[in-house]
Amino acid sequence: MERRGLSLAQVQEVPTGSLVLLTGLPGAGKSTFCHQVVLNGLAMDKPVVFVTTEHGPSEVTGLLKERGVGELQPDALSFIDAFGETVGATTPERFDTLSANCEDLNSISMAIDKLRQRIGKKDILLAFDSLTSPYLFNEREVFRFMRLCLTKFASEGNSVLALMDEGCGKEEDLGAMMSVADGILKMEIKESSRIMNVVKYPRVEATKIEVPAAKISQRNIYDTSLWDQDMLRHMMEAEQSFGRQFEVNIFWPNFAFWSSMLWDPIRFTKTAYEVWKQYGSLTREMIPLFPWHTRLLFKLFIPRNLSKARDMKKLCSKFMIPHTKMRRDSIIEYLENISKTDEHYIRVYENRECCGFEEVGATMASILPPMLAGVCKGLEKEEREWNAIETKCIGLGDPYCEFKLVPGDIDELRDSLKKDNLVIERIHERLMERLMGFMLDEKPLVERPRLGNDFVMAHPDITLPAMVGERYRMALRMGGARAGKKVGERLIKSGLSEDNTVKRVIDFMNYCKVGKVTMAETIRIKESSESLYTKYYTTKWDEPSCFFTTGFLNGIFSAVKNQHVREIKCIAAGDPYCEWEII
């Protein structure tokens, strides 16, 4: 058969009888391409079944309407929502939607078959966005699911487009998925454009196509008009007086961060770095909110230029060292003997981001380095672009951590922010081992000899990046669900009863000071550490924001009791406490 070249429009029409696998790094534009494929299918009067695993159907519908979709005939567009039930998110009931669960591939297969029968004809387009979440819950079964469900569906006179993130799993598993696909498309990011690499496609030649880059809107939390000034002032006064309501065990935010990293190991750390650096740069804007003696300290002693070692030493001694010590975040020391003009070194002991991760094979700090860089930018008169990189770390086997802090770019920074999937799995397994040791054998979660195991969480450590990016929120939700599922399965496997398992999880959350957790007919958390600061920093947040906590609880109840939880109240949305119903 004659093979021909092709355009972008042609690969956006999946041939009948074909399964096309679209891969690429997170953020490459796969979902945008998928939406266009759906639009083309609807324009050709093809019934479309959209499987969504990373957001609810309403978000997809909204995006399609922005692209011009009008009123549709019944069964023209149907959804399988494998997101809401997986993470415990509240999603509106829809007549065109069936529910499924990423943890249970059979539930997705059954939903696909049910919609096929309801539609009652062939030439259906199945858009699956994406296989990443089902894979991370069931990596050993996704290949079988593709072969027995998706390829079978395509062979019955339909077409399938399935998306899969690169870098979120084992290369051999992605290779196995490609082996059963009739077409393989790979999206790549190149500077400001995106490239569609057509590896193979039915009846066409392999080629590369440039794809216009879509702009991504993000919520801006750095507009200080959104901040509740009275609440912020109260929070900072409480911090200065060592208010205990802000203490959290260091294990919990680390557990949330690394459990969520698997969903986006490249952009997750990059997003965190940029957000925390920008947050640190707001230090000067926050000064009026500090108590009078802190404001006086800044006025009298903080230099307006930080190039010289003596000036950086003064900043560290007057501000950074007392601040981190007060928070029990870490013990820092300015290394004047090896620092020089515009190149500063800071040694850190008992960094709460790194303790417990000895010799895991990676640098661990994601908050303190960019925060310090941002502080330098914010305090200097000329506002130079500072950066920081961890040069030594407990995670690499060093006895302490060290940061290099400079105005300008750091060549090694980009690579240092990338975390290998196998390293992330190793880190997560370390966390799980410590958690099981604590729950089953009363071993300590983590030990810091001088600072203790709690720190004063004076910032929204878990949710600050989540307030900016939807992808980060999704990763927290899915990371929590996967972590909860694994915790529940391991506790049940150890011989605990269902009720005892749930009780130990609640006790663990109280021990970590996630909040004041109680459970009766519902689960209630007062002063939730995850949403408390969303309330402080954004007065216009109108939805539950306990993303990781909700996913974690939902994963626990799904694994242990075959039930699900859903957050129905949240202090970030104006409620007096956070509450979850059990369904």
CATH number at residue 374: 3.30.1380
Distances (CA, A) of 164 to 109, 136, 184: 18, 11, 11
Domain range holding 392? 266-418
User: Are residues 340 and 462 part of one domain?
Assistant: no
- Residue identified by tokens 């949710």 is 463
Is residue 391 situated within a structural domain? yes
Going across the sheet that includes 344-349, the strands are 331-334, 344-349, 401-407, 386-392
User: Are residues 512 and 403 part of one domain?
Assistant: no
What residues form DSSP beta bridges with 325? none
User: Are residues 507 and 401 part of one domain?
Assistant: no
Domain count, the chain: 3
3-state secondary structure of 239: helix
Last residue of a domain, one of 418, 447, 464: 418
Give the pLDDT confidence score for residue 283 in this predicted structure: 77
Is residue 271 situated within a structural domain? yes
Asked if 379 and 412 count as a contact pair (C-beta separation under 8 A), the reply is no
The residues, ordered by sequence, that sit 6+ positions from 437 with a Cβ below 8 Å of its Cβ are: 443
Last residue of a domain, one of 418, 438, 465: 418
Reading the block at residue 293, the tokens are 């003696």
User: Are residues 31 and 154 part of one domain?
Assistant: yes
The answer to whether the bond into 366 is cis (omega within 30° of 0) is no
10 Å Cβ neighbour count for 229? 13
The rounded distance, in Å, linking the Cα atoms of 514 and 526 is 9
The rounded distance, in Å, linking the Cα atoms of 388 and 370 is 6
Is residue 483 situated within a structural domain? yes
Is residue 365 situated within a structural domain? yes
Which DSSP helix (H) or strand (E) runs through 125?
strand 125-129
User: Are residues 202 and 54 part of one domain?
Assistant: yes
Give the pLDDT confidence score for residue 212 in this predicted structure: 63
User: Are residues 110 and 82 part of one domain?
Assistant: yes
CATH number at residue 549: 3.30.1380.20
Residue 158's identity, in one-letter code, is N
User: Are residues 442 and 390 part of one domain?
Assistant: no
Reading phi first (left if > 0) and then psi (alpha if -120 to 50, else beta), residue 574 is in: left
10 Å Cβ neighbour count for 118? 13
Residue 68's identity, in one-letter code, is G
User: Are residues 485 and 350 part of one domain?
Assistant: no
Give me the tens of pLDDT residue by residue for the chain, a chain 583 residues long.
333 445 777 788 899 999 999 999 888 889 989 999 999 899 888 999 999 999 889 888 888 888 777 777 778 999 999 999 999 887 777 888 999 999 999 999 999 999 999 999 999 999 999 999 999 999 889 999 999 999 999 999 999 999 999 888 888 999 999 999 999 999 988 766 788 899 998 877 888 888 765 544 444 545 555 555 565 555 555 455 444 457 899 999 999 999 998 888 878 888 889 888 988 887 777 777 666 777 777 777 778 899 999 999 998 998 888 888 888 999 999 999 999 999 999 999 999 999 999 999 999 999 999 999 999 998 888 879 999 999 999 999 999 999 999 999 999 998 898 888 889 989 999 999 999 999 999 999 999 999 999 998 766 677 777 766 777 888 899 999 999 999 999 999 999 999 999 999 999 999 999 999 999 999 999 989 888 777 666 655 667 889 999 999 999 999 999 999 999 999 888 899 999 999 8
3-state secondary structure of 379: helix
Is residue 545 situated within a structural domain? yes
User: Are residues 413 and 438 part of one domain?
Assistant: no
User: Are residues 169 and 285 part of one domain?
Assistant: no
User: Are residues 488 and 443 part of one domain?
Assistant: yes
The residues, ordered by sequence, that sit 6+ positions from 266 with a Cβ below 8 Å of its Cβ are: 25, 26, 27, 167, 417, 418
Is residue 224 situated within a structural domain? no
3-state secondary structure of 280: helix
CATH number at residue 42: 3.40.50.300
Closest residue by Cα to residue 521 from 472, 579, 445, 434: 579
DSSP state of 395: G
Is residue 66 situated within a structural domain? yes
DSSP state of 572: G
Give the pLDDT confidence score for residue 75 in this predicted structure: 81
Distances (CA, A) of 523 to 85, 180, 204: 17, 44, 56
User: Are residues 273 and 314 part of one domain?
Assistant: yes
Is residue 307 situated within a structural domain? yes
Give the pLDDT confidence score for residue 242 in this predicted structure: 41
Last residue of a domain, one of 359, 385, 418: 418
Give the pLDDT confidence score for residue 227 in this predicted structure: 54
Q: Measured in Å, how far apart are the chain's first and last C-alpha atoms?
A: 55
